[in-house]
């Protein structure tokens, strides 16, 4: 048996499933499929770029596991695929191919493909078995874990979707060797988030890690992925449906989502918006009494090539978009803030504080 770590995700809603992290997960995958999925046929939903780069490797792995591909649906790369037309195309294809309620859907790709394919799997025939095979760092540490699925709407990110736990998650960090620089840093934003939420030591490790060093060195990256998955799994174990504590996983996201929506999902990548959003969230936390040294998060500024000119003079519009975020309530905008490292809380905040936090963030990043 090859080396991989098996983590168990136990959602508070009762589902339990494995997440494997390693550089070679083939044997585990074959056994999992035989013992837990049991059905030899599956529908594959795969990101276009991943298909271009890894099709031979992936098809060989599926063949070695005796999996028959009923359909192979390719999703165009990019956030704009998290939309109605892609969702509808997947449903049409699944039904045309004669998918059964028991046919598993294997989703291979980053956060966009995972969210889109997961949502399709959760809704076709009221739910098909779903297996995630994340291929980007962001999907490995965040979007494939914990059962959120969804597509975007022009009025907001992830406004249509479901909570739907997969049967298993396959994190093969070998696939990261072809990830481009921008996507590495996209994922690293979420790892920085876990550090602030739960484990200050992660940021120390990250400070010593340039991507070029991580790329061909599975030991630190597997360890960072494992730590991140464990932190997220602990939260999902308490609150899979975001009735309470899970909301803290949105640290920086409400600020960031508003920027993504304003840029029509085409200017900033999700992780870039989250990095900028975390700077605003830390500034907001400091205004309410925390004492974060902004220098810590700003050490990573050079990793991101952020183009923020269109946002800087439009804070009022950003605040309008924040009101449409799922986390906002009829009473106002709710933000995830921090009292200290590993001490998050959620609070309604005044617009003036948000305005100031955005202003300071733009000053830091200009």
Distance (Å, rounded) from C-alpha 358 to C-alpha 336?
15
Name which position in 141, 169, 249, 338 contacts ligand GLY (CB under 6 A): 249
3-class DSSP string for 186-210: HHHHHHHHHHHHHCCHHHHHHHCCC
| Closest separation in Å from C-beta 111 to ligand GLY | 9
Contacts of 28 (CB under 8 A, 6+ apart): 1, 2, 4, 6, 20, 22
* Whole-Å CA distances, 146 to 121, 232, 239: 15, 8, 10
Nearer to ligand GLY, 229 or 318 (CB): 229
| Closest separation in Å from C-beta 148 to ligand GLY | 5
Q: Residue 142 interacts with ligand GLY (CB under 6 A)?
A: yes
Residue 158: active-site member: no
Q: Residue 246 interacts with ligand GLY (CB under 6 A)?
A: yes
Apex 275 CA angle, 270 and 276, nearest 5: 100
> What Rg value do the Cα atoms of the chain yield, rounded?
20
Interface mask toward ligand GLY for 66-85; x: CB under 6 A: --------------------
Residue 257: active-site member: yes
Token pair 């899970």 in the structure block, residue: 246
Contact 42, 193 (CB under 8 A): no
| Closest separation in Å from C-beta 169 to ligand GLY | 13
Interface mask toward ligand GLY for 147-176; x: CB under 6 A: -x----------------------------
Q: Residue 271 interacts with ligand GLY (CB under 6 A)?
A: no
Stretch that binds ligand GLY, among 71-79, 112-120, 142-150, 181-189 (CB under 6 A): 142-150
> Whose CB is nearest to ligand GLY?
249
Distance (Å, rounded) from C-alpha 267 to C-alpha 121?
29
Which of the following is catalytic: 51, 79, 190, 283? 190
Which of the following is catalytic: 54, 193, 227, 242? 242
Residue 226: active-site member: no
DSSP E strand boundaries for the chain? 4-10, 16-22, 41-47, 68-75, 105-109, 130-134, 148-153, 156-163, 168-172, 333-340, 343-349
- The 8-class DSSP code of residue 16 comes to E
Which of the following is catalytic: 82, 148, 193, 360? 148
Residue 253: active-site member: yes
Q: Could you tell me how many residues of this chain bind ligand GLY (CB under 6 A)?
A: 6
Apex 56 CA angle, 50 and 61, nearest 5: 95
Apex 265 CA angle, 11 and 313, nearest 5: 115
Residue 232: active-site member: yes
Take residue 243 and report the two structure tokens written for it. 């009735």
Nearer to ligand GLY, 132 or 148 (CB): 148
To 10 degrees, the CA torsion angle through 275, 164, 174, 136?
Answer: -30
Which of the following is catalytic: 28, 82, 230, 257? 257
Residue 59: active-site member: no
Q: Residue 146 interacts with ligand GLY (CB under 6 A)?
A: yes
Which of the following is catalytic: 132, 246, 334, 360? 246
Stretch that binds ligand GLY, among 149-157, 174-182, 204-212, 243-251 (CB under 6 A): 243-251
Nearer to ligand GLY, 82 or 246 (CB): 246
The residues that are catalytic are 126, 148, 190, 232, 242, 246, 250, 253, 257, 270
List residues binding ligand GLY (CB under 6 A).
142, 146, 148, 246, 249-250
């Amino acid at each position: 048996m090859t080396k991989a770590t098996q983590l168990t995700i136990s959602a508070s809603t009762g589902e339990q499933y494995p997440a494997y992290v390693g550089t070679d997960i083939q044997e585990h995958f074959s056994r999992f499929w035989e013992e837990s999925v049991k059905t030899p046929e599956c529908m594959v939903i795969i990101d276009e770029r991943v298909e271009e780069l890894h099709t031979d490797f992936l098809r060989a792995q599926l063949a070695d596991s005796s999996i028959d591909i009923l359909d192979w649906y390719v999703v165009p790369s990019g956030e704009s695929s998290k939309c109605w037309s892609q969702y509808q195309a997947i449903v049409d294809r699944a039904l045309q191919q004669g998918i059964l309620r028991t046919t598993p859907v294997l989703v291979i790709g980053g956060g966009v493909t995972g969210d889109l394919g997961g949502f399709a799997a959760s809704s076709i025939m009221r739910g098909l078995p779903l297996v995630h095979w994340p291929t980007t760092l962001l999907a490995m540490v965040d979007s494939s874990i914990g059962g959120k699925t969804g597509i975007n709407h022009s009025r907001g990110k992830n406004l249509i979707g479901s909570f739907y736990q997969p049967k298993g998650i396959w994190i093969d960090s070998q696939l990261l060797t072809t990830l481009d620089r921008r996507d590495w840093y996209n994922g690293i934003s979420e790892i920085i988030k876990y550090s602030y939420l739960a484990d200050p030591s992660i940021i120390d490790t990250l400070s010593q890690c340039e991507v070029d060093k991580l790329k061909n060195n599975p030991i630190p990256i597997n360890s960072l992925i494992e730590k991140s998955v464990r932190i997220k799994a602990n939260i999902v174990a308490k609150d899979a449906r975001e009735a309470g504590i899970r909301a803290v996983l949105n640290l920086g996201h409400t600020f960031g989502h508003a920027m993504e929506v304003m840029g029509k999902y085409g200017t900033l990548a999700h992780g870039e918006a989250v990095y900028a959003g975390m700077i605003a969230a830390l500034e907001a936390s400091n205004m309410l009494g925390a004492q974060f040294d902004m220098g810590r998060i700003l050490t990573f500024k050079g990793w991101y090539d952020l183009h923020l000119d269109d946002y800087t003079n439009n804070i009022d519009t950003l605040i309008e978009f924040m009101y449409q975020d799922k986390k906002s309530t009829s009473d106002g905008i709710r933000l995830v803030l921090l009292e200290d490292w590993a001490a998050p809380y959620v609070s309604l905040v005044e617009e003036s504080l948000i305005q100031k936090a955005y202003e300071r963030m733009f000053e830091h990043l200009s």
